[in-house]
């Protein structure tokens, strides 16, 4: 496994890997957990070589977010990736990604605007910008993203369609199902911030989401089911709910009632000082 930190050597390494067959990219911000490793394993099945990027992207953190305390564990992460048969770790320094004078932002309207986009202005511009840069740097044949960040996946898919990021230059975009703890909590690097009590209460998030989905399937009006969901989360120790919405799975337009197109329930809620997100299909 090669660990590359500068753009110039990256080009040679990726050119060599691509000669041996399809190259898959798994973009990450490090602090790797089983969810990321599941993406790596899915990537290995689909490609001759897997590249993993590790870059804590400052442009997707708001001024009051957790950039400074976001876990940094490059050595441990690299050991995990080597054991998974990854060929390349691309771990640029911030100055290699955004050199002096850097001035370009990619902004995907509409699908970026609601849900997490409303609560985190600029977040998805930061994500779209860095993901497009990662695609241009690594030039993978496919890229894999966790469905846990459903809105992120929808934004990246929209960007890929809008900017013609199609093979052979870059990347078929594949979503991989969320990996969960035994009690249903979606794996996230941010779960590490939870106290023992909050961690136990956090399982209410997927549990109450499933309950709301079952109620909607049984014919309860969406607004009533979502109201009950918010009440149940607060009763289970969450301090606030940023949003709980049933949305069209692709456009993320909120739905007052389920239609024929695939729909998804998306929730962001705070427990202690930590903001958790989750989503499930109707
Ligand atoms: O999902 C993440 O970890 C990040 O948003 C990503 C896609 C690596 C871009 O920085």
What tokens were used for 29? 């911000």
Total domain count, the chain: 2
Please indicate, yes or no, if residue 181 is contained in any of the structural domains.
no
Rounded to the nearest angstrom, the distance between the alpha carbon of 28 and the centre of ligand 1 is 5
Contacts of 276 (CB under 8 A, 6+ apart): 185, 186, 188, 190, 191, 202, 205, 268, 269, 270
Domain that residue 141 falls in? 2-176
One domain for residues 222 and 272: yes
CATH number, domain of 265, equals: 3.30.1300.10
What tokens were used for 75? 């050595």
**33 a catalytic residue:** no
The residue annotated as part of the active site, out of 36, 49, 123, 169, is 36
Please indicate, yes or no, if residue 185 is contained in any of the structural domains.
no
Where are any strands of DSSP class E within 19-82? 23-28, 49-54
Helix (H) or strand (E) holding 17: helix 7-19
> Where is the domain boundary, 176, 207, 224?
176
Enumerate long-range contacts of 13-21, CB under 8 Å, 24 or more apart: 13/88, 14/51, 14/88, 14/138, 14/139, 17/48, 17/49, 17/51, 17/87, 17/88, 18/49, 18/139, 18/141, 20/48, 20/49, 21/47, 21/48, 21/49
Please indicate, yes or no, if residue 230 is contained in any of the structural domains.
yes
Dist. CA 68–CA 150, nearest whole Å? 25
One domain for residues 70 and 101: yes
**Confidence label for 168 from pLDDT (cuts 50, 70 and 90):** low
Neighbour order of strands in the sheet with 23-28: 2-4, 88-90, 49-54, 23-28, 142-146, 172-176
Better-scored residue on pLDDT, 183 or 119: 183
- Ligand 1 mutation target, pool 131, 135, 159, 188, most atoms within 8 A of CB: 131
User: pLDDT of 219-241, one tens digit each?
Assistant: 999 999 999 999 999 999 999 99
Q: Over the chain, what is the mean pLDDT? A: 96
Dist. CA 263–CA 199, nearest whole Å? 28
One domain for residues 251 and 156: no
One domain for residues 216 and 97: no
One domain for residues 51 and 159: yes
User: pLDDT of 86-113, one tens digit each?
Assistant: 999 999 999 999 999 999 999 999 999 9
Nearest CA to ligand 1 atom 9: 127
What tokens were used for 257? 């009632």
Atom of ligand 1 nearest to the CA of 27: 8
Dist. CA 125–CA 62, nearest whole Å? 11
Compute the average pLDDT of residues 51-63: 97
Give residue 166's pLDDT: 72
Please calculate the CA angle 175-150-7 and round it to the nearest 5 degrees: 65
What tokens were used for 50? 């897997």
One domain for residues 140 and 36: yes
One domain for residues 212 and 124: no
Compute the average pLDDT of residues 179-206: 96
pLDDT at 171 over 80: no
User: pLDDT of 25-52, one tens digit each?
Assistant: 999 999 999 999 999 999 999 999 999 9
CATH number, domain of 134, equals: 3.40.50.620
- DSSP code for 237: T
- DSSP code for 101: T
Residue 92 to residues 3, 18, 113, 151, 222: CA-CA distances in angstroms?
A: 10, 20, 29, 25, 45
- DSSP code for 168: T
> Where is the domain boundary, 148, 176, 204?
176
Nearest CA to ligand 1 atom 3: 28
Helix (H) or strand (E) holding 259: none
């Amino acid at each position: 496994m090669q660990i590359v930190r500068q753009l110039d050597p990256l080009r040679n390494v990726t050119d060599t890997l691509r000669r041996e067959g399809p190259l898959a990219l798994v973009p990450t911000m490090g602090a790797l957990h089983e969810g990321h490793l599941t993406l790596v394993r899915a990537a290995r099945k689909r490609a001759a070589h897997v590249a993993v990027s590790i870059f804590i992207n400052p442009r997707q953190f708001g001024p009051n977010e957790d950039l400074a305390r976001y876990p940094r564990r490059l050595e441990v992460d690299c050991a995990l990736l080597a054991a998974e048969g990854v060929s390349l770790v691309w771990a640029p320094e911030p100055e290699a990604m955004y050199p002096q004078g850097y001035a370009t932002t990619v902004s995907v309207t509409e699908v970026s605007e609601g849900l997490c986009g409303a609560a985190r202005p600029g977040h998805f511009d930061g994500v779209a910008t860095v993901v497009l840069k990662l695609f241009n740097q690594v030039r993978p044949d496919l890229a894999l993203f966790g469905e846990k960040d459903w809105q992120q996946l929808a934004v990246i898919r929209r960007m890929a369609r809008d900017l013609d990021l199609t093979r052979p230059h870059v990347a078929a975009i594949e979503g991989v199902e969320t990996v969960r703890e035994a009690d249903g909590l979606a794996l996230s690097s941010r779960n590490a911030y939870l106290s023992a009590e909050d961690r136990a209460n956090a399982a209410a998030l997927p549990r109450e989401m499933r309950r709301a989905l079952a109620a909607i399937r049984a014919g309860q009006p969406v607004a009533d089911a979502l109201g009950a969901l918010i009440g149940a989360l607060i009763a289970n120790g969450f301090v606030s709910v940023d949003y709980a919405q049933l949305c069209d799975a692709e456009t993320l337009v909120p739905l007052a009632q389920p239609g024929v197109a695939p729909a998804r329930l998306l929730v962001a809620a705070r427990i202690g000082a930590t903001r958790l997100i989750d989503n499930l299909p109707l």
